[in-house]
Amino acid sequence: MIRRITLENFMSHVNTVIEPAAGLTVIVGPNNCGKSAIVAALQCLSYGAYGKPFVRHGCRYAKVTVDTGEGDRIEWMRENDSVTYTINGVKTHRGVVPDDLPKLLKINRVVADDDESEFDIHFAEQKQPIFLLGKAKDAALFFASSSDAGYLLRMQQNWKDRIRDRRREANRLSEGLISDRVRYEGYAPLADIEPAMKEIEAHYAELAEIEQSRAALLGFLKRQKNTLRSVEHQHAAAQALHELPSVPALADEESCRKVVSRWRSLRRSVMREELLGKSLEIAAPPTLSDTAGLSQLVRDTHRKRHYVAKIGAKASVVQALEDPPVQIDTSGLARAIQAVKSAKRAVDLATQKLDQDRAALDKSAADLREYVSRHPECPTCGGAIDPERFLNRQEHTHA
């Protein structure tokens, strides 16, 4: 089957590409637009026409190329006075139709038994019937000699079968149309139901609106009930507050304010010192091979030393505080005194913890020195290990 037709400088076509459809392809257009030239191009390719009029005026050559569904490409080209065929990229013949061309294109004339008459069943000239139509005298000769006669008879029978099937389909559709019409007439009483349905829909809309108003009213009543309950609660609270005695006059509070202000200032100082201590923390020494115990000991020593420093700073700040002056017994002053006492107890506990941490720090330093005395050389670089550098939070420099 032909899949693609390309015309180059052929008659009125400069460069035209046609891709026929899988079934029937119809080409339409005004007069003198090149429709008949397409048929002439296929005739030149199939039967080897050699006339000069096929070359477009002013051009050097004319070419017709056909691509088939089987993957073959056939080219016919006329240049100057010579004609060349190229099949699948190979020039096969010059001036003669190749023998295998009819097999590739499946376009060939039917030769009669008299070896003189030929019938072209593929092409028809413009304004001329298709091969046997209008040539009744040649029909008997064609059907007697053509190998395609049986195929044409089967085509005729197939056409008759299709007409019979279409008539049956038309009868079936007519019967279905009558049945549908009867069924449609049965729905005619539905027109009387439509006004009643509209009235019911209107009543339903009114009921929906009433239900919506009822829900809104219930919501309003619920909000009103909640508001009344809140007002009663606030009234009871106001009455209870009204019965309370007036706030007693306090003695001089200036000294207490100073103590609290100083305590807050010292607390902010402690927090700044803690932040400063965290910002000045030195990174841990690099990991050494086979020194897991030493690394853990150094980390514990740094952590305890930092903790002791923080506890000492807090203890020194809290110890500088004076005992609060004796004030008239008031609830606010009593809470402040209790807070100061709690702070003093915390200082005492912190001092005890500081002493314990210092002892632990001294022990860790002694353990570190003992470990260095037993392992004086760095296992990574072989240099001497100075325990004082670790205790001063300095990194070991590898040799």
pLDDT of residue 150: 62
Q: Does a structural domain hold residue 158?
A: yes
- Beta-bridge mates of residue 5: 18, 66
* Element containing residue 78 per DSSP (H, E): strand 73-79
Residue whose entry in the numeric block shows the structure tokens 């402040």: 336
Alpha carbons 298 and 282: distance in angstroms, whole number: 12
260 and 387 housed in the same domain: yes
Segment 288-306 mean pLDDT: 76
Angle at 48 between CA 127 and CA 91, to 5 degrees: 145
99 and 152 housed in the same domain: no
Share of the chain above pLDDT 70, in %: 77
Q: Does a structural domain hold residue 206?
A: no
Residue whose entry in the numeric block shows the structure tokens 């919506």: 212
Alpha carbons 335 and 341: distance in angstroms, whole number: 10
Residue 149 in this model has a pLDDT that exceeds 70? no
Question: Which is nearest to 8 in space by CA: 74, 82, 68, 59?
Answer: 59
pLDDT tens column, 185-224: 777 766 677 777 888 888 888 888 898 988 888 988 899 8
387 and 260 housed in the same domain: yes
Residues 6+ apart with CB under 8 A from 281: 306
pLDDT of residue 7: 93
Q: Does a structural domain hold residue 133?
A: no
305 and 371 housed in the same domain: yes
CATH number of the domain enclosing 64: 3.40.50.300
Residue 344 in this model has a pLDDT that exceeds 70? yes
List Cα–Cα distances, 93 to 16, 50, 85, 252, in angstroms. 25, 14, 6, 129
The alpha carbons of the chain give a radius of gyration, in whole angstroms, of 57
Given pLDDT bands bounded at 50, 70 and 90, which one contains residue 129?
Answer: low
97 and 153 housed in the same domain: no
Residue 125 in this model has a pLDDT that exceeds 60? yes
How much is the mean pLDDT over the chain?
Answer: 78
Segment 70-94 mean pLDDT: 84
Q: How many domains does the chain have?
A: 3
Lowest mean pLDDT among 83-97, 152-166, 243-257: 243-257
Residue 15 in this model has a pLDDT that exceeds 90? yes
Residue 250 in this model has a pLDDT that exceeds 70? no
308 and 385 housed in the same domain: yes
Contact assessment for residue 91 and residue 75, using Cβ atoms and an 8 Å cutoff = no
Given pLDDT bands bounded at 50, 70 and 90, which one contains residue 5?
Answer: very high
152 and 92 housed in the same domain: no
Q: Does a structural domain hold residue 350?
A: yes
Residue 266 in this model has a pLDDT that exceeds 90? no
Which residues span the domain enclosing 282? Answer: 255-391
pLDDT of residue 82: 83
Contact assessment for residue 54 and residue 40, using Cβ atoms and an 8 Å cutoff = yes
